[in-house]
Structure 1
């Protein structure tokens, strides 16, 4: 099977999106426990923004792969 860069980038973007979500969940959990730094709580919306952005890019590359 030939290498398809669109599939590669779609998978990579999806993987990084899930990593951003995991980071945001971890920070949110530590904020609830009271063990997070003050500056970490402020980063949660940006982590979610990056996750959504990466997931949109993943869907874009999947559409490119499908030819639609």
Structure 2
């Protein structure tokens, strides 16, 4: 089977999105118990925005069709 770079980039972008969401959730959890720094709390919205961009990029790569 030939290498499909679209699938590779789709999977890579999805993994990046899930990692950023996990980081944001960790910061939010630590903020709830008072262990997060103020600069980390401000980063939550940025991490979520980057995750959304990565997931949109993943969906874009998945929508590309391979011509036979």
Normalising by the smaller structure, the TM-score range is: over 0.9
* 1:3-59 Cα deviation digits (max 9, x unpaired): 000000000000000000000000000000100011100000000000000000000
Q: How many residues align?
A: 67
Gaps of 5+ in 2: none
Gaps of 5+ in 1: none
Match of 1:52 in 2: 52
TM-score (norm 2): 0.94
Runs (4+) of structure 1 moved beyond 4 Å?
none
For residues 66 and 39 of structure 1, what CA distance do their matches in structure 2 show?
44
Question: Do structure 1's residue 11 and structure 2's residue 16 form an aligned pair?
Answer: no
TM-score (norm 1): 0.94
The two structures, once aligned, show a CA RMSD in angstroms of 1.2
